[in-house]
């Protein structure tokens, strides 16, 4: 189905006309080499498209009118392998199940590839140019098209990911349901290790929902919050009737949340077990912080503008393009050249957490004569244990845990400093996406490169490669959950992910539970999806309501809150959460949840066992080491030591393929 639709979009494209033998005879040696390289990447259709674009660009440079269609990338990028809206190779696809609708609802013409948004002047510099493909600061919420919020997947927010929980015991929404139907959402935020999410409006209003066992929703308590709830953020000491701050950005980790206000203040809340909040006092006491607290920023003249969160660490950039990190350094994910390990006493290794934002100034040299000074950074993204960053000139860096090639550096070694990812020459990267064990780099023309692994079987992709299944599908938005991937293109939503899944792929109750190859989400076919986001076991999309076709799809969506009530799951009805000081009661449950859980968890000092599996799987990355401080489900984290380690005894060998 994906292949047939891509072919429809490109059927009338003059850039897909094959070259004759006489035409090829006139080529130079360099042009023949370009054709050969493109042929090896994507076959004859790809090579034809690359060369047609190349010759069209030559005509433009010479002053003659070009026949290229709108959104066609420059030849250099096409040759580099970035998927193009103009002439992509036809993908190999999964055959749809019987009764599945066709792709006829999609537009017959290829949608325009996403253009780089012009940048307003800022403290970080002027608008993006050819030398600066991406700007330092993200687009304001007012510039985002936004749409109506739909969610799918697990709604048992307090339980999903626990190793003792079976799929049958989990409340699942296998199709997309409408959330906050009366609002237009500008941006939805979650992450591959997170079981909670944020939704922001263009005016800066923020709604939160999901797991709240460490106060990561910022509501001042730790009670289950399965339904979206308004978060009124006020500066510390402000009166209760003071206007709430406008929230313009944020990020979520496994058990913590970061928020950026319109004034440029960074707030954080949730677990402080690994100092991921950037509050040195909270880290020393080992407490969680259920109410957002301002992070002391080192440069008042250049406030933070972008944030990203891993499982237990945080990354941010300021308006000058400087990069900062704090939290757990175990695999080098802080980019400061160390894992923070030290021997506390015989046979016990602990970690020196970074409790406040620390400037990352150096990168690994790419050659003997290259600079080690990290250039100004724009987009950033965090997986569970690794980080991606893109400079304003489009150069991609990665560092942290290297298992299964998620750093794109051709091996599985960890990197302790930002290291340049070897992308094909001419690739114009404008955005980055990090999953639990994989990475994507999005090109200016709407294509993407992939590296890492998304399923538990098969070989990992150790260096950047194009996604052949998505040739012909210019990307509008892409997101990665723990193991699942979502792509919005044209008027279609494409998703895939290996088992186990919890309905987040959106295939419906009658559809497959998982898919290892890209597959259309039939229920949303014809809708214009503006943004996709994915958490540990759920997904969220923003669907435009500005046209009749999208409105017709939205009208068929069931209401999320009504679905929770109808299923009468304990998380839907709410429960008795633990007290904000970390020592309260456990979660009460009914029905399948059985007896009330005692809530007796381990503290951040690593004692006891965890039920939560929302970090890296043990087989995959070594997971949390023995005695892992996973405080999502433990009620008492207040007795933790300031730099308590996450493993006892000798460090276990990291299991790598």
User: pLDDT band for position 510 (50/70/90)?
Assistant: very high
Give the lowest-confidence range in 29-33, 161-165, 288-292, 369-373.
Answer: 161-165
In a domain, 371, yes or no: yes
CA atoms within 13 A on the CB side of 71: 25
> pLDDT grade, residue 578 (50/70/90)?
very low
Q: What is the mean pLDDT of residues 426-447?
A: 92
Strands 354-360 and 348-351: unpaired
pLDDT classification of 592: cutoffs 50, 70, 90: very low
259, 246 contact by CB (below 8 A):
no
- Is 359 part of any domain? yes
Report the pLDDT value the prediction gives residue 571, as an integer from 0 to 100: 53
- Is a pLDDT exceeding 70 seen at residue 584? no
Between 314 and 52, name the one with better pLDDT. Answer: 314
pLDDT of 129 > 80? The answer is no
Residue 97 lies in a domain: no
Specify the CATH number for the domain of residue 262.
2.130.10.30
Position 82 scores a pLDDT of: 38
- Please indicate, yes or no, if residue 637 is contained in any of the structural domains: no
The predicted pLDDT at position 644 comes to 39
* DSSP assignment of 386-424: EEEEEETTS-EEEEE--GGGTT-SSS---EEEEEE--PP
In whole angstroms, give the CA distance from residue 271 to residue 195. 14
Q: What's residue 576's pLDDT?
A: 41
Average pLDDT over residues 235-249: 90
Spatial contact of 472 and 43, defined as CB atoms under 8 Å apart: no
Nearest CA among 286, 287, 295, 326 for reference residue 310 = 326
Q: What pLDDT is attached to residue 567?
A: 81
Structure tokens that stand for 8 in this block: 């429809």
Segments forming the whole domain that contains residue 160: 141-567
Site of tokens 């194009």: 466
- What local confidence, expressed as pLDDT, does residue 31 receive? 85
CB burial of 594-628 (b: ≥16 within 10 Å; e: otherwise) equals eeebebebbbbbbeeebbbbbbbbeebbbbbbebb
Check pLDDT > 60 for residue 490: yes
Asked, for residue 370, whether it belongs to a domain, the answer is yes
Q: Is residue 98 included in any domain, yes or no?
A: no
The structure tokens 């096409």 sit at 78
Q: What distance, in Å, lies between the first and last C-alpha atoms of the chain? A: 33
Q: What angle do CA 504, 508, 509 make, to 5 degrees?
A: 110
If one counts the domains in the chain, the total is 2
Share of the chain above pLDDT 90, in %: 53
pLDDT exceeds 70 at position 287: yes
How much is the pTM?
0.74
Which residue reads 């069931």 in tokens?
558
Of 551, 567, 583, the last residue of a domain is 567
> Sorting pLDDT into bands at 50, 70 and 90, what band is 552?
very high
Whether the predicted pLDDT of 238 surpasses 90: no
DSSP label at residue 167: G
End of a domain among 23, 57, 90?
90
Question: Which of 183-187, 348-352, 475-479 is predicted least confidently?
Answer: 348-352
Q: Answer yes or no: are the C-beta atoms of 507 and 515 closer than 8 Å.
A: yes
Question: What integer pLDDT is reported at residue 40 of this predicted model?
Answer: 65
Q: Do 36 and 164 sit in the same domain of this protein? A: no
- Count of other CB atoms within 10 angstroms of residue 574: 14
Q: Are 47 and 173 within one domain? A: no
Looking at the structure, do residues 197 and 50 belong to the same domain, yes or no? no
User: Within a domain: residue 646?
Assistant: no
- Give me the chain's average pLDDT, please: 78
In this prediction, residues 101-120 reach a mean pLDDT of 35
Same domain, yes or no: 451 and 539 = yes
pLDDT, position 418: 98
Confidence class for position 32, pLDDT limits 50, 70, 90: confident
Residue 116: pLDDT over 70: no
Q: What is the pLDDT of residue 18?
A: 82
- Higher-pLDDT residue of 615 and 430 is 430
On the question of pLDDT at 315 being above 70, the answer is yes
**What pLDDT, on the 0 to 100 scale, is given for residue 94?**
40
Q: What is the mean pLDDT of residues 245-270?
A: 98
Question: Rounded to whole angstroms, how far apart are CA atoms 267 and 273?
Answer: 17
Helix (H, G, I), strand (E, B) or coil at 277: coil
Higher pLDDT, 477 or 569: 477
User: Residue 335: pLDDT above 90?
Assistant: yes
Average pLDDT over residues 73-99: 36
Sign of the CA dihedral running 420, 423, 428, 433: negative
Residue 598 has pLDDT above 70, yes or no: no
Does 407 share its domain with 494?
yes
pLDDT of residue 14: 63
Q: β-strands 196-200, 187-189: how paired? A: antiparallel
453 shares its domain with 531? yes
Judge if 550 and 441 occupy the same domain: yes
Let me know whether 419 and 276 are in one domain. Answer: yes
209 and 60 part of one domain:
no
Residues 6+ apart with CB under 8 A from 437: 383, 384, 403, 404, 406, 452, 453, 454, 483, 616, 620, 621
The pair of three-digit structure tokens given for residue 42, joined into one six-digit string: 């994507």
| Cα–Cα distance for residue pair 251/260, rounded to 1 Å | 9
Lowest mean pLDDT among 100-109, 160-169, 221-230, 561-570: 100-109
d(CA 381, CA 169): 32
CA distance 574 to 529: 31
Q: How many CB atoms lie within 10 A of CB 585?
A: 15
Region 259-281: mean pLDDT is 95
> Does 70 or 170 have the greater pLDDT score?
170
> Residue 347 has what pLDDT?
77
Question: Worst-scoring range by mean pLDDT, 231-245, 260-274, 277-291, 339-353?
Answer: 277-291
DSSP notation for 580-635: TTS--------GGG-SPP------TT--S---B--S--HHHH--SPTT---TTS-S
One domain, residues 151 and 218: yes
Q: Which residue has the higher pLDDT, 618 or 415?
A: 415
Q: How far apart are CA 84 and CA 447, in angstroms?
A: 6
More reliable by pLDDT, 116 or 51: 51
* Cis peptide bond upstream of 133, omega within 30: no
Structural contact between residues 153 and 503, judged by C-beta atoms closer than 8 angstroms: yes
Per-residue model confidence (pLDDT) at position 97: 38
Q: In what order do the strands lie in the sheet with 448-452?
A: 429-434, 438-443, 448-452, 461-466
- CA gap 652, 303 in Å, rounded: 40
145 shares a domain with 13: no
166 assigned to some structural domain: yes
What is the per-residue pLDDT across 604-623, written as a single tens digit (0 to 9) for each?
Answer: 333 333 334 444 443 333 33
Give dist(CA 230, CA 406) in Å, integer.
Answer: 36
Percentage of residues in the chain with pLDDT exceeding 70?
70
Q: Which residue has the higher pLDDT, 575 or 379?
A: 379
DSSP lists the bridge partners of residue 288 as 271
pLDDT at 600 over 60: no
Predicted local confidence at residue 628, as pLDDT = 38
Phi and psi at 389, nearest 5°, equal: -145, 145
Tokens 């046979």 belong to residue: 347
**Count of CB atoms within 10 A of residue 352's CB?**
15
- Of 69, 90, 111, the last residue of a domain is 90
pLDDT of residue 604: 38
Please calculate the CA angle 543-91-84 and round it to the nearest 5 degrees: 65
The CB density around residue 239, as the number of other CB atoms within 10 Å, is 6
The span from the CA of 414 to the CA of 409, in Å, is 10
Span 98-113, average pLDDT: 35
The pLDDT value recorded for residue 608 is 36
Q: How far apart are CA 580 and CA 642, in angstroms?
A: 19
Looking at the fold, whether 382 and 464 belong to one and the same domain comes out as yes
Paired residues of 449 in beta bridges = 441, 466
pLDDT at 387: 99
CB 98 within 8 A of CB 25: no
Please give the order of strands across the beta sheet that includes 538-543: 172-179, 148-154, 538-543, 529-534
**What are the backbone angles phi and psi of residue 416, rounded to the nearest 5°?**
-95, -10
Q: Over 60: is that where the pLDDT of 249 sits? A: yes
Which pair of tokens denotes residue 333? 């994910």
Which residues lie closer than 8 Å to 9 by C-beta, 6 or more apart?
Answer: 85, 107, 108, 109, 110, 472, 490
Question: Rounded mean pLDDT of 31-38?
Answer: 79
Q: Exposed e or buried b for every residue in 374-390, given b needs 16+ CB within 10 A?
A: bbbbbbbbbbbbbbbbb
């Amino acid at each position: 189905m994906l292949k047939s639709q891509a072919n429809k979009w490109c059927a009338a494209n003059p850039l897909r006309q094959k070259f004759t033998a006489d035409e090829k005879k006139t080529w130079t040696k360099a042009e023949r080499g370009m054709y050969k390289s493109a042929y090896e990447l994507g076959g004859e259709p790809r090579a034809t498209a690359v060369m047609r674009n190349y010759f069209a660009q030559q005509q433009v440079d010479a002053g003659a009118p070009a026949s290229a269609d709108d959104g066609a990338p420059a030849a250099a990028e096409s040759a580099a392998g970035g998927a193009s809206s103009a002439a992509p190779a036809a993908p190999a696809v999964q055959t749809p199940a019987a009764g599945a609708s066709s792709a006829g609802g999609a537009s017959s013409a290829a949608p325009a590839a996403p253009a780089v948004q012009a940048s307003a002047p800022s403290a970080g510099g002027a608008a993006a140019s050819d030398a600066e493909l991406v700007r330092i600061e993200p687009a304001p919420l007012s510039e985002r098209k936004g749409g109506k919020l739909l969610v799918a997947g697990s709604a048992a927010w307090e339980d999903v990911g626990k190793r003792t929980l079976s799929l049958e015991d989990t409340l699942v929404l296998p199709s997309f349901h409408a959330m906050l139907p009366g609002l237009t959402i500008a941006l939805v935020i979650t992450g591959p290790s997170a079981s909670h999410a944020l939704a922001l409006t263009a005016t800066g209003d923020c709604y939160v929902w999901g797991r709240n066992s460490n106060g990561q929703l910022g509501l001042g308590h730790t009670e289950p919050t399965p339904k979206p709830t308004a978060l009124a953020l006020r500066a510390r000491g402000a009166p209760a009737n003071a206007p709430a701050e406008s929230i313009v950005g944020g990020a979520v980790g496994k058990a913590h949340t970061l928020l950026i206000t319109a004034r440029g203040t960074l707030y954080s809340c949730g677990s402080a077990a690994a100092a991921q909040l950037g509050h040195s006092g909270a880290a020393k006491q080992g407490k969680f912080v259920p109410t957002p607290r301002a992070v002391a920023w080192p440069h008042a003249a250049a406030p933070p503008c972008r944030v990203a969160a891993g499982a237990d660490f945080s990354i941010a950039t300021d308006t000058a393009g400087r990069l900062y990190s704090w939290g757990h350094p175990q695999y080098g994910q802080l980019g400061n050249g160390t894992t923070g390990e030290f021997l506390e006493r015989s046979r016990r290794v602990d970690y020196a957490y970074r409790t406040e934002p620390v400037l990352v100034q150096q990168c690994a040299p790419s050659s003997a004569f290259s600079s080690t000074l990290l250039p100004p950074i724009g987009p950033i993204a965090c997986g569970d244990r690794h980080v991606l960053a893109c400079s304003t000139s489009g150069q991609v860096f990665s560092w942290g845990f290297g298992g299964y090639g998620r750093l794109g550096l051709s091996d599985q070694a960890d990197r302790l400093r930002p290291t340049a990812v070897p992308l094909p020459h001419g690739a114009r990267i404008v955005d980055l996406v990090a999953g639990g064990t994989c990475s994507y780099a999005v090109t200016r023309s709407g294509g993407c490169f992939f590296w890492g692994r998304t399923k538990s079987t098969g070989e990992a992709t150790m260096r950047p490669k194009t996604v052949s299944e998505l040739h012909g599908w210019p990307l509008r938005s892409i997101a990665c959950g723990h193991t699942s991937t979502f792509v919005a293109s044209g008027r279609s939503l494409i998703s895939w992910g290996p088992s186990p899944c919890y309905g987040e792929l959106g295939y419906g109750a009658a559809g497959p539970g998982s898919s290892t190859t890209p597959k259309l989400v039939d229920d949303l076919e014809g809708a214009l999806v503006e943004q996709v986001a994915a958490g540990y076991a759920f997904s969220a999309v923003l669907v435009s309501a500005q046209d009749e076709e999208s409105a017709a799809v939205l009208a068929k969506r069931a209401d999320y809150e009504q679905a929770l009530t109808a299923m009468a799951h304990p998380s839907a009805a709410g429960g008795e959460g633990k007290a904000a000081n970390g020592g309260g009661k456990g979660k009460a449950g009914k029905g399948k949840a059985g007896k009330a859980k005692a809530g007796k968890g381990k503290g951040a000092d690593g004692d006891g066992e965890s039920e939560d599996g929302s970090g890296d799987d043990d087989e995959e990355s070594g997971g949390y080491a023995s005695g892992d401080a996973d405080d999502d489900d433990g009620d008492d984290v207040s007795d933790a030591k300031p730099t308590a380690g996450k493993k006892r005894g000798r460090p276990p060998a990291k299991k790598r393929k």
